[in-house]
Amino acid sequence: MRDTTRAVAGLLAAGLLVLPACGTTSENRGGAAGGQQARADACKGPGEDYRIGMSQANLAEPYRVRMNEDIRTAAAKVPQFEVQFADAAQDNSQQVNDVQNLMTNQVDLLIISPNEAAPLTSEVAQAYNQGTPVIVLDRKVNGDAYSTFIGADNVEIGRKAGQHVAQTLLPQGGKVVEIRGLPGSTPAQERGDGFRQGIKGSKVQIVDSQAADWLRDKGREQMDAILKSQPQIDVLFSHNDPMAEGAYLAAEEAGRTQGIDFVGIDALPIPSGGIKAVEQGRLAASLAYPTGGEEAIEAAKKLLISCENVPKTQTLETELVTQRNASQVYSRENSPG
């Protein structure tokens, strides 16, 4: 691999984590005229080494820790790849700086999971239009100035959650409280929209909806306040599992877990993840939300090594996890290969 001693020192000073790795729709390889040829030239084949920058929205969410791990694992199988990680700690300005630092360090490809869409759109477009291939992962940016977007359909995930609530948990109707993700992030907007589509035409009512920014502790705080103002809650729908777990803790402390079904999203196949929370009875259901880390590295291989086209959008599959299939899903997701 290339000698990166000086680059590593610069990255440490900039607060970036360096990982040397030993080791899919419409087609897209172009875009703005100024960068199209440069992006095509980014692919130099298997005989070169490549530096990939990964700008992560935060590492406070277990989902994002798992995403980075999936990227590490996949990149470790590609001897030509070296990955540099940056953690924005849920700060838009920090993530802008992270992207600028990665570009200054001349990454060959940028992967970004944006904290919020609008504040990161310009930086992503600038990198892309200058000729750097860009993979947008999980959360979208505005416009289409990127090589490929990889993520699940958050509207569909929300819709499936709403349908499960309306058809299975509350077929006769009932009252739902919603704990939302970060308001400016596309998953929060789309999951909320999808959920409302899923319960449309039923007798299910959303009686309160509060943002907890994807964080367990904030989910607990919001649920604590909601419990004081809502005498009847039949279902808690959370935009991710950590906030649902936080809400469960608040209800447990208030002695109100009986009679409330908790529904989340992520279903991480780890001991502290949503699948185990369903299996153990704290959550009634969780919708699987793949990280896309493995798919991002596969797209990077196509863009940098094999010079192949990549899909402009790659939609990842989701799955409803309940007590009926939680054990099976957990075993399957943790089986080798």
Instruction: Report how far apart, in Å, the C-alpha atoms of 263 and of each of 44, 182, 191, 212 are.
Output: 47, 18, 13, 15
Q: Are residues 260 and 286 in the same domain?
A: yes
Q: Are residues 123 and 203 in the same domain?
A: no
Sheet strand arrangement including 134-137: 17-20, 81-87, 50-56, 109-113, 134-137, 148-152, 313-316
Q: Are residues 295 and 283 in the same domain?
A: no
Q: Are residues 117 and 245 in the same domain?
A: no
Q: Residue 313, class by beta-carbon neighbours within 10 Å (0-12 exposed, 13-18 middle, 19+ buried)? A: middle
> What is the C-alpha separation between 152 and 291, in angstroms, rounded?
9
- Say whether 271 sits in a helix, a strand or coil: coil
- What is this structure's pTM? 0.85
In tens digits, the chain (337 residues) has pLDDT values of: 443 433 333 444 444 444 433 333 334 444 445 467 667 788 999 999 999 999 999 999 999 999 999 999 999 999 999 999 999 999 999 999 999 999 999 999 999 999 999 999 999 999 999 999 999 999 999 999 999 999 999 999 999 999 999 999 999 999 999 999 999 999 999 999 999 999 999 999 999 999 999 999 999 999 999 999 999 999 999 999 999 999 999 999 999 999 999 999 999 999 999 999 999 999 999 999 999 999 999 999 999 999 999 999 999 999 999 999 999 999 999 987 6
> What is the C-alpha separation between 221 and 218, in angstroms, rounded?
5
Q: Tell me the CB-side half-sphere exposure of residue 42, using CA atoms within 13 A.
A: 31
Q: Are residues 207 and 229 in the same domain?
A: yes
The total of structural domains in the chain comes to 2
Q: Are residues 89 and 164 in the same domain?
A: no
Q: Please check whether residue 315 lies inside any domain of the structure.
A: no
Give the domain range for residue 65: 5-138+291-306
For residues 127 and 103, is the Cβ–Cβ distance under 8 A? yes
Q: Are residues 38 and 177 in the same domain?
A: no
Q: Are residues 208 and 232 in the same domain?
A: yes
Q: Please check whether residue 96 lies inside any domain of the structure.
A: yes
Q: Are residues 202 and 125 in the same domain?
A: no
Q: Please check whether residue 148 lies inside any domain of the structure.
A: no
Q: Are residues 126 and 247 in the same domain?
A: no
Q: Please check whether residue 312 lies inside any domain of the structure.
A: no
Q: Please check whether residue 186 lies inside any domain of the structure.
A: yes
Q: Please check whether residue 86 lies inside any domain of the structure.
A: yes
The CATH number for 38's domain is 3.40.50.2300
Q: Are residues 213 and 283 in the same domain?
A: yes
Q: Please check whether residue 316 lies inside any domain of the structure.
A: no
Q: Are residues 30 and 160 in the same domain?
A: no
